[in-house]
Structure 1
Amino acid sequence: MKNKPLLLDCTLRDGGYYTNWDFDEDLVAEYCRTVENLPIDYVEVGYRSIPVKGYLGEYFYCPEYVLKKLKKLMPSKKLVIILNEKDIRASHVNELLGPCKDYIKLVRLAIDPSNFKRAIVLAKAIKKMGFEVGFNVMYMSNWKENSSFLDLLEDLDNTIDYFYMVDSFGGVFPKDVIEIIDLVKSKTNCALGFHGHNNLEMAMANTLTAIDHGCSIVDATITGMGRGAGNLRTELFLTYLDSQKIERIEYNNLSAVVSKFEKLKTEFLWGTSLPYMFSGANSLPQKQVMEWVGMNRYPISSIVNALNNQKEAVEDNLRLPVLLKESKFKKAIILGGGKTARNSSTAIKKLIKQNEDLCLVHAGARNVGEYLDVSCEQFYALVGFESEKLLAEVKDFGSLSQICVYPPYPRVMGTIIPKEIINLSKELSAVEFTTISSDSPLVLAIQIALDKGVQEIYLAGFDGYETSINHTQYLVSQENQKVFDELLSSRDVIIKCITPTKYKNMDIISVFSLIK
């Protein structure tokens, strides 16, 4: 490395994919104070966005008061915001960027290569307002197969200040970086940048290669916090600069803020893993992998199986017999994984015994072992880890008459079914009562009950969560609440919760009041 490149830290923007762009105020303040005293040139603080559906936090919209606060905390830094080109047009520029003039130096655009021509129009409107302009062009690992968009770079040297190559899938290697840089250099004299993802743990090697071959600006984030497998770690790159005597780093403040982000990492679990490695190596989308990993619903084997199906362009790898629709039962108990399903098991079993027109549907396999001695017809709603949990609970499948039920074909995750239960397994014909999810154990359990003609559903073991919950529990509880709300608005079935619950809007009746 002959000359130190410019360094852009984008922790608050890229890390927001894990926090919904909400960060603790004290953490942000410490981050800013630390960055202010480090050899970081640009700090990307988030998106500026037009309103979109659903909740996204402070650093997705970066209102003016936030920018003012951040500039006060980092007065020597050039602050950056990014626009998602797919949502923003030149007509939005004055409204979005007018309030930013006193705080923001560089505006970057996140660009799909297929929208490159449209992005040029947007960039020219931004340049007229006096901002530096950066193009963050995604999907770098696919450029060699389709590089025609680069022909549009001619005559844009006065519009684009930085042209970034973004390794969106984290799938390139140093030789690819060199080839793509040479390709881009043949089209433009614009200053080049590199944004590496770490699926294959090549972010550092690729970044150093990019610098050695002409990139003048590179991105990093504290602890690598960023979408999917994350990015080059800021502290790693700074340590390298220090070791090469290119920059002097004061480690005390840096280590303190890194420790706080490492603590956050234990909750959100960014960083590479086998699914991210597979997706990176095969240039497969990160968003879906993030959702699968984040919900903690699927074993790694299922996620990799799903990714391999995508690679092979296979919808699903297994069809099952379809669960018969019939008016067989009037009532169903749907059993969740909460403690109350075990604590009240004696009463629930007595309720089952008193009702011949009732079936038992397990939303997952956590409490299966408690109900193996029940003689009524039972159904196991299985997704992800649940098949493995069932194997752990049931030792002898030879005597079971229960049915294992999987989501409708084709299943996004593909299908992996243990050989012990393959002959007991069926699939739903469709999930018809909701569009919220087709692979939630709760959704499957409800659809099983509806397909069997049930008119009244008793819920047990859906305890909800205490106020202090982790990110995965939060996602699951939010999904369950949406499903309950949708079901409760239906007039086709009566819903009652027979054990204590923290879910809202539930009609609660004690199981003990229902038994003789």
Structure 2
Amino acid sequence: MDLEKRNTPYILDCTFRDGGYYNQWDFDDDLVEKYLRLLALSGVDIIEIGYRFFKSKDYCGPFGFCSEEFLDGLNIDSKISVAVMVNASEVLSSKEDLDRFKECFVNAKKSRVDIVRVATYMHDADKTESLVNYLKNQGYIVCINLMKISESSEQEIKSTVKQINEWKTPADVLYIADSFGNLDTEKTGKLIDLASNYWDGDIGFHAHNNQGKALTNTIAAMKRNAAWLDSTILGMGRGAGNASTESLMMELNQENADDEQRYDSKAIFPLVVEEFESLKREHGWGHSLLYEVSSRYSVHPTYIQEILYKKEKYSTDQILRSLDKLTTTDSTSYSTEIAESLLISSDIVKGDWDATEYAEDREVLILGAGPEGSRNSDQIETFIQRKNPLTLSLNVNRSISEDFIDAYVIVNRVRLLTELNKNISSEKDIILPLHILSEDMRENVKSKKILDYGCNISSGVMSASNSHCIIPFELAIAYALSISIAGNANKIYLAGFDGFEIHDPRQDEMLELFKLFKSISSIPIVSITKTNYPLEKRTLHDPSI
């Protein structure tokens, strides 16, 4: 690869390296073929084809090792330069690993790899001189990627950059990596300027999209003369992802509108639409609230990835408390022990209200929000007048008069904020797990009649005691069923539980919930409005119910 200065920067697409965190660096053969073919047509300068790990504790696909034999089998256009990345901490952990590193990097003339990027933290950068020296002597272009640089002081950056610039055989490119995605355009420019003052080679920039600024920061870096710019297809990358290659190409073409267009972004549009859109839906990378908060508190993105991966199994409150824990502790580096403890609490949260006699020998009617409940509201009110059940409304049900409701059941913190604005009577019971409320929110409900029944979420589990329950999902119906069990109801009626489409994941949750309910309780449960759930069904027009 020719490293002579040019008017436009290089685009380095690192989709398979950064995106590999989502599929263990194991990409489909057809996708790989299309990616390599269309990237070549687009005019991209460099493809970082993956990592070059030297060992792995878990399964890792071929793009995690990028052996010479594997790369020889790929149809990579000769015009494209190929890069791999190594983690300095892995190589320097033992003499055995260092020896393996040297074995894996044959002379560059015999390799399809042109560029090696050495990733290191600022405080370890000085230890990588021997690696850079070896790779340079083997004929590779070498980049040194400084991670978490935004967490370092100006003096630390100055000292580190100056030191590695003075090595006998310095790297060719110094990369600024916005590891937490917490830079803005101004800070990006200042970092590039600061590094440039003490670095004689090219500068590169690798952005993350935690705050939705990956592309604008990358352009800002370019305008401060960063010559190497990282991107990935559709922004695919760990956590919030990166600047997207297709967008970066369009931006660079626009910046050079008067000159010949260097990149053909349209060449990769089919790749984006046909392959990566579905991958994004499957893996969920991209900007989100959790990633934005993590960037502002310098939380390692892998923690957020794991929370998002498991979020369907845990309550909103558990997720928010986990985030609180991460933002108040040192979580800039990933720790398996911390990760395993985040969403798991050994302490069962109990409430201070005893539900034991709340429904003693009474029938309970639980009101849902389905259209059938609204359509039959008059008949439901007549049913309540006639049967006098203990009537529990899941959140606020406006189709049934408050006169017919005994208690409102709320289990979600966000839902509570919404419901409090609906003027629930201070005389009506509100059953909720008080522990989900912040101090400010507790002040807001002081005037309400709160019954504090503890709620804990654990996948595949359902149980109910006098002070708390354990439910598989953060669903108000699961909470209400638990209250009915704990309160010793003799029968449960449901109204307004129509059900969902067969492939809707919410339908699967409800089916699992009813299955768990029947495994722990013999209380009869009957739907009195139309439903597609496998329950006993009766009609409101039947005088015998």
State how far apart, in whole Å, the 2-side matches of 1:231 and 1:204 are.
8
Matches within 5 A, 1:215-230: 215-230=226-241
Residues 338 and 265 of structure 1, relative CA distance in 2, 3 Å threshold: farther
- Contact 2:410–2:432 (8 Å) recurs in 1: yes
In the alignment, which residue of structure 1 is the partner of 2:413? 383
Alignment of 1:150 onto 2:164: no
Q: Say which SS state the counterpart of residue 147 (structure 1) adopts.
A: helix
Q: Per-residue deviation at 1:218?
A: 1.6
Name the amino acid aligned to 2:187. Answer: D
Q: Per-residue deviation at 1:42?
A: 1.9
Q: Per-residue deviation at 1:224?
A: 3.4
- Contact 1:230–1:272 (8 Å) recurs in 2: yes
In the alignment, which residue of structure 2 is the partner of 1:80? 83
State how far apart, in whole Å, the 2-side matches of 1:388 and 1:67 are.
55
TM-score, structure 1 as length reference: 0.62
- Contact 2:142–2:171 (8 Å) recurs in 1: yes
In the alignment, which residue of structure 2 is the partner of 1:254? 268
In the alignment, which residue of structure 1 is the partner of 2:147? 138
In the alignment, which residue of structure 2 is the partner of 1:324? 353
Q: Say which SS state the counterpart of residue 37 (structure 1) adopts.
A: helix
Alignment equivalent of 1:441, drawn from 444, 455, 474: 474
Matches within 5 A, 1:277-426: 310=327, 322-324=351-353, 327-328=356-357, 365=395, 379-384=409-414, 386-387=415-416, 390=419, 397-398=424-425, 401-406=428-433, 408=435, 423-424=448-449
In the alignment, which residue of structure 2 is the partner of 1:168? 179
In the alignment, which residue of structure 2 is the partner of 1:6? 10
> 1:47-104, CA deviations, whole angstroms, 9 ceiling, x for partnerless residues?
4555456xx8757746769954873244543333445566674545676896787554
Q: Say which SS state the counterpart of residue 165 (structure 1) adopts.
A: strand
State how far apart, in whole Å, the 2-side matches of 1:248 and 1:78 are.
16
Worse overlay, 417-426 or 103-112:
417-426
Query: Gapped runs of 5+ residues in structure 2?
Result: 331-348, 462-469, 539-543
TM-score, structure 2 as length reference: 0.60
Alignment of 1:31 onto 2:35: yes
Q: Which has the larger radius of gyration?
A: 2
Q: Per-residue deviation at 1:408?
A: 3.5
> 1:16-40, CA deviations, whole angstroms, 9 ceiling, x for partnerless residues?
5667767665444332211112332
State how far apart, in whole Å, the 2-side matches of 1:373 and 1:167 are.
57
RMSD across aligned positions (CA) = 6.4
Residues 70 and 239 of structure 1, relative CA distance in 2, 3 Å threshold: farther
State how far apart, in whole Å, the 1-side matches of 2:207 and 2:147 are.
11
State how far apart, in whole Å, the 2-side matches of 1:184 and 1:408 are.
48
Q: Per-residue deviation at 1:379?
A: 3.3
Residues 275 and 416 of structure 1, relative CA distance in 2, 3 Å threshold: farther
Residues 154 and 248 of structure 1, relative CA distance in 2, 3 Å threshold: closer
Matches within 5 A, 1:459-474: none
In the alignment, which residue of structure 2 is the partner of 1:45? 49
State how far apart, in whole Å, the 1-side matches of 2:81 and 2:525 are.
55
State how far apart, in whole Å, the 2-side matches of 1:407 and 1:64 are.
55
Q: Per-residue deviation at 1:123?
A: 6.4
State how far apart, in whole Å, the 2-side matches of 1:445 and 1:421 are.
25
In the alignment, which residue of structure 2 is the partner of 1:505? none
In the alignment, which residue of structure 1 is the partner of 2:190? 179
- Contact 1:108–1:136 (8 Å) recurs in 2: yes
State how far apart, in whole Å, the 1-side matches of 2:130 and 2:453 are.
49
State how far apart, in whole Å, the 1-side matches of 2:180 and 2:128 are.
21
State how far apart, in whole Å, the 2-side matches of 1:156 and 1:120 are.
7
Q: Say which SS state the counterpart of residue 137 (structure 1) adopts.
A: strand
Q: Say which SS state the counterpart of residue 190 (structure 2) adopts.
A: helix
Residues 416 and 180 of structure 1, relative CA distance in 2, 3 Å threshold: same
Worse overlay, 432-441 or 23-32:
432-441
Q: Per-residue deviation at 1:150?
A: 1.7
State how far apart, in whole Å, the 2-side matches of 1:455 and 1:65 are.
68
State how far apart, in whole Å, the 2-side matches of 1:400 and 1:147 are.
62
- Contact 1:324–1:451 (8 Å) recurs in 2: no
Alignment equivalent of 2:247, drawn from 236, 241, 247: 236
Residues 293 and 87 of structure 1, relative CA distance in 2, 3 Å threshold: same
State how far apart, in whole Å, the 2-side matches of 1:61 and 1:465 are.
40
- Aligned identity (percent) is 21
Q: Say which SS state the counterpart of residue 48 (structure 2) adopts.
A: strand
Name the amino acid aligned to 1:197. Answer: H
State how far apart, in whole Å, the 2-side matches of 1:126 and 1:44 are.
16
State how far apart, in whole Å, the 1-side matches of 2:454 and 2:417 are.
23
State how far apart, in whole Å, the 2-side matches of 1:459 and 1:130 are.
76
- Contact 2:115–2:143 (8 Å) recurs in 1: yes
Residues 261 and 100 of structure 1, relative CA distance in 2, 3 Å threshold: farther
> 1:195-243, CA deviations, whole angstroms, 9 ceiling, x for partnerless residues?
1234566545543453454533221223434445543332333334444
State how far apart, in whole Å, the 1-side matches of 2:235 and 2:80 are.
20
Residues 312 and 492 of structure 1, relative CA distance in 2, 3 Å threshold: same
Residues 138 and 378 of structure 1, relative CA distance in 2, 3 Å threshold: same
Q: Per-residue deviation at 1:166?
A: 1.0
- Contact 2:459–2:472 (8 Å) recurs in 1: no
Q: Say which SS state the counterpart of residue 410 (structure 2) adopts.
A: strand
State how far apart, in whole Å, the 1-side matches of 2:392 and 2:30 are.
49
- Contact 1:229–1:273 (8 Å) recurs in 2: yes
Q: Say which SS state the counterpart of residue 171 (structure 1) adopts.
A: coil
Q: Per-residue deviation at 1:194?
A: 0.8
State how far apart, in whole Å, the 2-side matches of 1:335 and 1:84 are.
56
Q: Say which SS state the counterpart of residue 108 (structure 1) adopts.
A: strand
State how far apart, in whole Å, the 2-side matches of 1:298 and 1:61 are.
34
Worse overlay, 107-116 or 439-448:
439-448
Q: Per-residue deviation at 1:253?
A: 1.9
Name the amino acid aligned to 1:256. Answer: P
State how far apart, in whole Å, the 2-side matches of 1:324 and 1:397 are.
20
Residues 277 and 441 of structure 1, relative CA distance in 2, 3 Å threshold: closer
Q: Say which SS state the counterpart of residue 44 (structure 1) adopts.
A: strand
> 1:294-337, CA deviations, whole angstroms, 9 ceiling, x for partnerless residues?
969999xx98xx78x95999xxxxxx995436655799999999
Residues 178 and 48 of structure 1, relative CA distance in 2, 3 Å threshold: same
State how far apart, in whole Å, the 2-side matches of 1:328 and 1:124 are.
76
Name the amino acid aligned to 2:74. Answer: K
Q: Say which SS state the counterpart of residue 215 (structure 1) adopts.
A: coil
State how far apart, in whole Å, the 2-side matches of 1:207 and 1:285 are.
21
Query: Gapped runs of 5+ residues in structure 1?
Result: 314-319, 503-507
State how far apart, in whole Å, the 2-side matches of 1:29 and 1:124 are.
34
Alignment equivalent of 1:197, drawn from 194, 208, 225: 208
Residues 509 and 227 of structure 1, relative CA distance in 2, 3 Å threshold: same
Q: Per-residue deviation at 1:398?
A: 0.8
In the alignment, which residue of structure 2 is the partner of 1:317? none
State how far apart, in whole Å, the 2-side matches of 1:443 and 1:22 are.
40
